[in-house]
Structure formats: C-alpha cells, structure tokens
C-alpha cells in the first residue's frame, strides 16, 4: 500500500482541484473533486472523453447516498447494504449536488463506494465525493496497474498512487434503480446471479432500446490492434495461424484453460501488451457461461466493435 505521506498528498491535490489516479478493486480511476466543476472538466479533457458521457461519483460510505440522490428506493438500501464497499454502481435520481457536468445533463447520478484500501483512505482523507472514471484514454483498454496509467497520461495527471494491480480487473457492475424496475446497465464484478439473490427477484433482460446491432455497437475498451473474437480455443488458433500466414502480427488471448477470475484480472494488461508488442490483430476466445463471463463478453464484444475512426 502507498505510504501515508503519498495518501496525504493525494487528498491535498484533490482539495486543490487536481487530478489523482488511484487503484480501486475494479480498475484504476482518474479522480477529481466531484463538486469542483473545473476539476471535473479537466478530467474529461485529459481522458479525451465527450462531455455528455456521465461519470461515477465515488463515496466514502453509504451514508453519503442521501446527499447525492433525491430518492432512494428500498432496492438501493438492500444492494448498498449487501455490496458496498465493492464493485457495484447504483444509478439513482440525482440531488442538486450532482451537477450537469457530472451526470452529462441527465436527471440521474451514478454512485459507488469502492472497497480498495487506497481508494477508501484517499476518500476518507479528502472528506468529500470524487468522480473517478477509469484511468485510460477514452475508448481504450482500462488501466489495471499504475504503469498503465503512466503510459496513457504521463505528466497529464498530478499524481499516480501505486497500489499494485487492481484486484478484479473489470469495471463495476452498474444497476439502474431510477426507473420502475432495476436493470443492469453494465455487467461487472457483482454478477447478475448475486444481484438477483440479494433482491429476491429476477432482473429483466436489457431493454431492447439499449441493445444495439453489432454494426453500431460503440467501440470501447479497444487496444490499437484489431480485436477478433473466437468461440473456442481451436477456432482461435486456426484463425491466428491463418492471419500469420497472411503476414499479420497476431497476439492470442484466452486459449489456455484458466479461471475466469484470472482472465478478468489480466484482460486489459494482455490487450495492452499486444499493442506494446506491435500486434496488428488480437484473437480472443470468448468465455462461455454466466457471472463474470457475461462481464468479460460485454467488454470483448465492445473491444471488437468497428472503430469510429
Ligand atoms: O469500476 C468502475 O466503475 C471504475 C472505477 C474507477 O471506479 N470506473 C469506471 O468509470 O468504470 P467510467 O467513467 O469508465 O465508466 C462509467 C460508466 C459509463 O459507462 C457511464 O455511461 C456510466 O458509468 N454512467 C455514469 N453515470 C451514469 C448515469 N447517470 N446513468 C447511466 N450510466 C451512467
Ligand atoms: Mg471507462
């Protein structure tokens, strides 16, 4: 864990409107004072993130929910009690404290209490709420180590707090509690099965309006290399050999049997390593099943989506 002086400095920089990258249990975040509009704007600028793309407000504890959400349904209390601190984000009707710059002008705000000791300590010493989008350039693979953050931003951030590799390696699960029934907006570290068990109810499948045809799926989490998906290891190997025969530099991910937790923990590092090795194509085996596999497929399908540029 980072030393006490570094954690104090992090809180001081944040109070002064600066940007601090720090580890959470999911991925590294690029943090700024959630109530300082200029600081929030700087994070958007550094990331290259469009202004209408809302950010998650990170809270020190669940009691702060009341300051940021104007309505808190029972399901929010149940999920906060069960999963906070942890890799779960709740979308709720916003209070006046959640400004347009944070919510992208929407009437809702995304809130989470992270579990990582470094994130918790910095939030505690800072004393307020922090926005913390994933610490990567917009559209690219998230950062799961301090070195990833440094590679993306270098001197663009005021401080990078090194807390080792992020534990889970995939972003938090986002649950929308602002409508009539809870729904999962982004699968992640807390699985659908665990949410349904806590709520005692089935979560509806995504609304059709949020399911996009693959041709229009926004590219995200994407390395510079093109990403191709394979349904099993033998197909991936065959495809990699075919591409190599055509003269392409190819990296391959997910062909060896390994726990899903390991693949989640390593995924972004492997995509980044493929770029560092000069790969033109990364062939990735899509994991099967529910739970963390669903979160991995979500990230991989977006990483493989056609690029805007
Ligand atoms: O695990 C995580 O959540 C990480 C760590 C650093 O906490 N953060 C993260 O932030 O993934 P970011 O900015 O990369 O992703 C935030 C996601 C975006 O997909 C955004 O659209 C969604 O949260 N989001 C934020 N506010 C929202 C809102 N009011 N309604 C719906 N979605 C929202
Ligand atoms: Mg992100």
Q: What range does the domain containing 247 cover?
A: 226-304
* 122 ligand 1 Cβ < 6 A: no
Q: Judge if 174 and 276 occupy the same domain.
A: no
* 143 ligand 1 Cβ < 6 A: no
- Give me the pLDDT at residue 211, please: 44
Q: Judge if 191 and 267 occupy the same domain.
A: no
Mean pLDDT, all residues of the chain: 94
Structure tokens at 118: 């470094």
Q: In 168-186, which positions are buried (b, 16+ CB within 10 angstroms) versus exposed (e)? A: bbbbbbbbbbbeeebbbeb
Q: Judge if 66 and 190 occupy the same domain.
A: yes
Q: Judge if 64 and 190 occupy the same domain.
A: yes
Confidence of residue 309 (pLDDT cuts 50, 70, 90): low
Residue from 134, 16, 276, 305 nearest 284 by CA: 305
Q: Judge if 182 and 266 occupy the same domain.
A: no
Q: Judge if 164 and 244 occupy the same domain.
A: no
- Give me the pLDDT at residue 82, please: 98
- Give me the pLDDT at residue 2, please: 87
Count of structural domains, the chain: 2
pTM passes above 0.85: yes
* 110 ligand 1 Cβ < 6 A: yes
Listed range (61-65, 158-162, 170-174, 210-214) with the worst mean pLDDT: 210-214
Nearest ligand to residue 133 Cα: 1
C-alpha of residue 103 to centroid of ligand 1, in Å = 10
Pocket test for ligand 1, best of 129, 133, 218 (most atoms within 8 A of CB): 133
CATH number at residue 98: 3.90.870.10
- Give me the pLDDT at residue 213, please: 52
* 287 ligand 1 Cβ < 6 A: no
Final residue of a structural domain among 182, 199, 216? 199
Q: Judge if 268 and 179 occupy the same domain.
A: no
Using the atom order of ligand 1, give the atom closest to the CA of residue 142. Answer: 14
Q: Check whether 256 has a pLDDT greater than 60.
A: yes
Query: Would you say residue 209 lies in a domain?
Result: no
Share of the chain above pLDDT 70, in %: 95
Nearest ligand to residue 222 Cα: 2
Residue from 146, 168, 165 nearest 157 by CA: 146
Q: Check whether 92 has a pLDDT greater than 60.
A: yes
Query: Would you say residue 214 lies in a domain?
Result: no
Q: Judge if 155 and 80 occupy the same domain.
A: yes
Query: Would you say residue 218 lies in a domain?
Result: no
Nearest ligand to residue 220 Cα: 2
Q: Judge if 158 and 240 occupy the same domain.
A: no
C-alpha of residue 126 to centroid of ligand 2, in Å = 23
- Give me the pLDDT at residue 212, please: 46
Using the atom order of ligand 1, give the atom closest to the CA of residue 89. Answer: 3
Range 3-8 average pLDDT? 96
Range 169-192 average pLDDT? 95
* 166 ligand 1 Cβ < 6 A: no
Using the atom order of ligand 1, give the atom closest to the CA of residue 49. Answer: 13
- Give me the pLDDT at residue 204, please: 79
Rounded CA gap, 144 and 27, in Å?
Answer: 5
Query: Would you say residue 98 lies in a domain?
Result: yes
Confidence of residue 72 (pLDDT cuts 50, 70, 90): very high
CATH number at residue 280: 3.40.50
Q: Judge if 164 and 300 occupy the same domain.
A: no
User: Tens digit of pLDDT for each residue in 33-67?
Assistant: 999 999 999 999 999 999 999 999 999 999 999 99
* 101 ligand 1 Cβ < 6 A: no
Q: Judge if 143 and 235 occupy the same domain.
A: no
Residue 64 CB coordination number (10 Å): 18
Cis preceding-peptide flag for 52 (omega within 30 of 0):
no
DSSP one-letter string for 94-157 = B-TTS-HHHHTT-SEEEEE----HHHHHHHHHH-S-EE--BSS-TTSPPP-SHHHHHHHHGGGS
Q: Check whether 267 has a pLDDT greater than 90.
A: yes
C-alpha of residue 135 to centroid of ligand 1, in Å = 12
* 56 ligand 1 Cβ < 6 A: yes
Query: Would you say residue 205 lies in a domain?
Result: no
Range 225-254 average pLDDT? 98
Listed range (152-156, 216-220, 254-258, 267-271) with the worst mean pLDDT: 216-220
Q: Judge if 149 and 256 occupy the same domain.
A: no
- Give me the pLDDT at residue 209, please: 42
C-alpha of residue 134 to centroid of ligand 2, in Å = 4
């Amino acid at each position: 864990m980072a030393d006490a002086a570094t954690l104090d400095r992090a809180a001081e920089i944040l109070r002064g409107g600066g940007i601090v990258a720090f580890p959470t249990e999911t991925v590294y975040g690029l943090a700024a004072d959630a109530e300082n509009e200029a600081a929030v704007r700087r994070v958007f600028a550094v990331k290259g993130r469009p202004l209408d793309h809302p950010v998650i407000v990170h809270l020190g504890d669940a009691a702060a929910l009341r300051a940021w959400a104007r309505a808190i349904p029972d399901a929010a209390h149940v999920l906060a009690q069960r999963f906070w601190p942890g890799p779960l984000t709740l979308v709720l009707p916003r209070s006046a404290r959640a400004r347009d710059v944070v919510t992208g002008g929407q009437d809702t705000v995304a809130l989470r209490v992270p579990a990582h000791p470094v994130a918790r300590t910095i939030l505690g010493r800072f004393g307020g709420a922090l926005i913390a989008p994933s610490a990567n350039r917009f559209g690219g693979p998230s950062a799961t180590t301090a070195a990833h953050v440094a590679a993306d931003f270098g001197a663009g951030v005021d401080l990078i707090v090194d807390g080792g590799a992020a534990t889970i390696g995939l972003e938090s699960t986002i649950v929308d509690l602002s409508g009539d029934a809870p729904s999962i907006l982004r699968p992640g570290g807390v699985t659908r099965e665990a949410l349904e068990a806590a709520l005692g109810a089935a979560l509806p499948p995504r609304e059709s309006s949020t399911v996009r045809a693959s041709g229009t799926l926004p590219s995200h989490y994407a390395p510079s290399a093109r990403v191709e998906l394979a349904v099993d290891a033998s197909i991936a190997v065959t495809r990699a050999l075919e591409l190599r025969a055509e003269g392409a530099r190819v990296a391959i991910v997910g062909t060896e049997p390994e726990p899903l937790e390991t693949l989640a923990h390593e995924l972004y590092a492997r995509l980044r390593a493929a770029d560092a090795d000069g790969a033109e194509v990364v062939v990735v085996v899509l994991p099967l099943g529910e739970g963390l596999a669903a979160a991995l497929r979500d990230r991989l399908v977006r990483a493989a989506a056609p690029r805007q540029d």
